[in-house]
Amino acid sequence: MKLKLLLFFLIGGFSIQAQQLVYTPKNPAFGGETFNYQWLQSSAQAQNSFKAPAEEGREQLTELERFTQSLNSQLLGQVSRSLFTQQFGEGDLQPGKYTFGSLAIDIYPSNEGLVINILDTNTGEQTQIIIPN
């Protein structure tokens, strides 16, 4: 019985064949067939749901409107700097909770650095700023 089993494995073992598996990429950017380029491009464009904004809908600002926006931006920057120095002084930021109108600011140290959480209590929008050590 053992001899038959041994002969079966020896004869059967010689008849087993294998082949080498080779991966060929489809994308020509990664070594694939160059004729796939047009198909891949059209497939990607068909799946793209993003539509570019129309150029006609944009309003061109006049010099006066741009000057007004710039002036408003500078005034708001000056006011925010003034509030910042009133609240924090000229030195470093100190941990604590602060309120500027509808903005609730929470400053605390963490392992990553100084963390500043800003919450707009009217809309619920929240921003986190981390200043590394």
> pLDDT (tens digit, 9 = 90+) per residue, 21-30?
888 888 887 8
Cα–Cα distance for residue pair 115/89, rounded to 1 Å: 18
Whether residue 111 is contained in a domain is answered as: yes
Whether residue 122 is contained in a domain is answered as: yes
The per-residue pLDDT for 86 is: 72
List phi, psi (to 5°) of 107: -120, 130
Domain around 115? 94-132
Cα–Cα distance for residue pair 69/71, rounded to 1 Å: 5
Quick: pLDDT tens for 9-20.
766 655 566 788
Cα–Cα distance for residue pair 95/128, rounded to 1 Å: 14
Whether residue 57 is contained in a domain is answered as: no
Whether residue 79 is contained in a domain is answered as: no
Tokens of 84: 């910042």
Number of domains in the chain: 1
Measured distance between the N- and C-terminal CA atoms of the chain, rounded to whole angstroms:
77
**Which of 108, 58, 12 shows the shortest CA–CA distance to 118?**
108
The per-residue pLDDT for 133 is: 75
- Comparing 6 with 24, the larger pLDDT belongs to 24
DSSP H/E element including 63? helix 63-88
Whether residue 3 is contained in a domain is answered as: no
